[in-house]
Amino acid sequence: MAPDSMTIRLHLRRLRVLEVLSDAVERLVVAVRDSRRVVRCPHCGFLTAKVHETRRVEVADLPYGGRPTTLVWHRRRFTCANCTERHTESHPEIAGKVTRRLARQVVRDAQVMTIKAISHRYGISWWLAMRTVRDWAELLEAERRRRRCKVLLIDETSLRRGHRYVTVLSNGETGEVLGMVRHRDARALGAFLSAQGRRWCRGVQVAVTDGSLSYRSAIHRHLPGATHVVDRFHAVRWFCAGLIEVRRRLQRLGPKGTNPAFDPQVFRSRYLQLRRLDRLEGEAIERLGAILWRYPELEVAWRMVQHLHGIYLAEDAEGANEALGAFVELWEEERFPEFDQVVSALLNWGEEIFAFHDTDRVTNGHLEGRMNKIGVLKRTAYGFRNVRNLAARTILISPAVA
Ligand SMILES: [Zn+2]
């Protein structure tokens, strides 16, 4: 035993340092044992101190004096003197191959660091770090999924840009991500809802989706009591698509390759054209007005979109209907083919768009924020291959766990 070994204090409850096995610059290795001599037999309840055998289990701990630290836990197997059954001890500070305090720290770090960086910091393998994060997230997920959810937000994302889609479910009231399932279709959503059980499904009063047809049948089937609402931001994106197409047609000055090919003023104000009038200030209104005055068709398309914004700005369903009516009137006069898609979206999703007014005006706002965070996560990790790894880390950051 090294002469200074007894100066090492791990501050771990009920663990005694037996000896320092290796005190190198790059790593500290300490042998430990449960300080209790006598344990209770789980089979019959009698006390026993008869050790059948002792195994050495490596357990990673928080760094000690800046060095990654490994505990060699002398884990005992007891024989009961009363019933002769054997049992292996467990320890409250140890969870598998890591101490609980290291697990907590790894989980905190996983909200801001890559798994690779974490494994380097604590001298553990990538797999152990990921495993620790996943175990924790699974507990959190189970806890969140048990609780009642009145507003269910349903959205989709991909593991890597553009492929392998997953469905993301969150609680609209708390902002907590409840889970992530492979694919973005009725079957994926149906599987999640079946797993939640009928009682939980009956508690869902509002389901918000992004307006992809694929989820609709699963909502009707599993959530018959819920009002289905199309997320406001997705609906507004549909509305704006018509205006964008009209602008693209009008801004062209000459054939491809000529310079300039587009009217730069129209092109540069493209985001301004999409803004809601009530969000524009003096100078911006003037700039926009000058452009719309030069392009009367653009002006009509712009007014059509403003009426569509009115569906959401209205106080109630009646006001929303008036706004829609004003849009339809303009559309019947002009019949821009660019707005055909907008009209068919309104026909297909009218009920789910107007339901906004019957459901305390819920939107996917929470979820959109979440999606941005997931985006950052994916970029940090250079995309994910494994759905469960992405799900685990998403659950930890939404909302952040302390
Ligand atoms: Zn016993």
Residue whose tokens read 């007894």: 6
Cα of 74 from ligand 1 centre, angstroms: 21
Cα of 100 from ligand 1 centre, angstroms: 28
Cα of 90 from ligand 1 centre, angstroms: 16
- Residue 67: pLDDT band by 50, 70, 90 thresholds? very high
- The mean per-residue pLDDT over the stretch 39-45 comes to 95
Among 117-121, 268-272, 331-335, 393-397, name the one with the lowest average pLDDT. Answer: 393-397
Cα of 78 from ligand 1 centre, angstroms: 10
pLDDT at 299 (0 to 100):
96
Options 3.40.50.300, 3.30.450.40, 3.30.420.10, 3.30.160.340; CATH of 142-228+363-397: 3.30.420.10
Cα of 129 from ligand 1 centre, angstroms: 36
- The mean per-residue pLDDT over the stretch 301-314 comes to 95
Cα of 233 from ligand 1 centre, angstroms: 63
Cα of 15 from ligand 1 centre, angstroms: 24
Cβ-contact 124, 115 below 8 angstroms: no
Cα of 46 from ligand 1 centre, angstroms: 6
Cα of 53 from ligand 1 centre, angstroms: 16
> Would you state the torsion angle of the CA atoms of residues 7, 13, 14, 17, taken in this order, to the nearest 10 degrees?
-20
Q: Which of 401, 387, 394 is nearest to 367 (CA)?
A: 394
pLDDT at 396 (0 to 100):
84
- Residue 305: pLDDT band by 50, 70, 90 thresholds? very high
pLDDT at 6 (0 to 100):
47
Position 264 pLDDT exceeds 90: no
Q: Which of 57, 141, 92 is nearest to 133 (CA)?
A: 141
- Residue 5: pLDDT band by 50, 70, 90 thresholds? very low
Write the CA distances from 172 to 140, 148, 352, 363, integer angstroms. Answer: 17, 11, 17, 8
Cα of 60 from ligand 1 centre, angstroms: 31
Position 400 pLDDT exceeds 80: no
Cα of 87 from ligand 1 centre, angstroms: 9
Position 271 pLDDT exceeds 60: yes
Angle, in degrees to the nearest 10, between helices 317-334 and 340-354: 170
Cα of 88 from ligand 1 centre, angstroms: 12
Cα of 54 from ligand 1 centre, angstroms: 18
Cα of 93 from ligand 1 centre, angstroms: 24
Cα of 36 from ligand 1 centre, angstroms: 17
- Residue 1: pLDDT band by 50, 70, 90 thresholds? very low
